Amino acid sequence: KQEVTQIPAALSVPEGENLVLNCSFTDSAIYNLQWFRQDPGKGLTSLLLIQSSQREQTSGRLNASLDKSSGRSTLYIAASQPGDSATYLCAPPRGYNKLIFGAGTRLAVHP
């Protein structure tokens, strides 16, 4: 059974800060891990996907790392902006294709 924990649960920061969002999972036998953002009342937007053979992936100001052996993934957000305000969710799969979600980190970036 895959269980996912995300820390911190909430984060409120001034614009411009570099941020670290943590995700830990119990079943390390995963093929990949995907990070999403969710705006209030909306669906999910895919941010990054890290394959099990990779250690990190980058997209713009976002960088995600993966340490399978320790069951951890970290999402780094550089130079945060108010538009980054959202809930960030990590989702390692259970088995081949069932994504299991953490409770998310609610991020608020204020000007």
Partner 1 sequence: GAVVSQHPSWVICKSGTSVKIECRSLDFQATTMFWYRQFPKQSLMLMATSNEGSKATYEQGVEKDKFLINHASLTLSTLTVTSAHPEDSSFYICSARDPGSFGGGGYTFGSGTRLTVV
41 binds partner 1 (CB under 8 A): yes
Please state the closest distance from residue 16 (CB atom) to partner 1, in A.
27
Spatial distance between the Cα atoms of 108 and 32, rounded to a whole number of angstroms = 27
Please state the closest distance from residue 90 (CB atom) to partner 1, in A.
10
Q: Given CA atoms 94, 99, 100, 106 in this order, what sign does their dihedral have?
A: positive
Of 34 and 80, nearer to partner 1 (C-beta) is 34
Of 69 and 97, nearer to partner 1 (C-beta) is 97
Contacting residues toward partner 1, per CB under 8 A = 4, 31-32, 34, 36, 41-46, 49, 51, 89, 91, 97-104
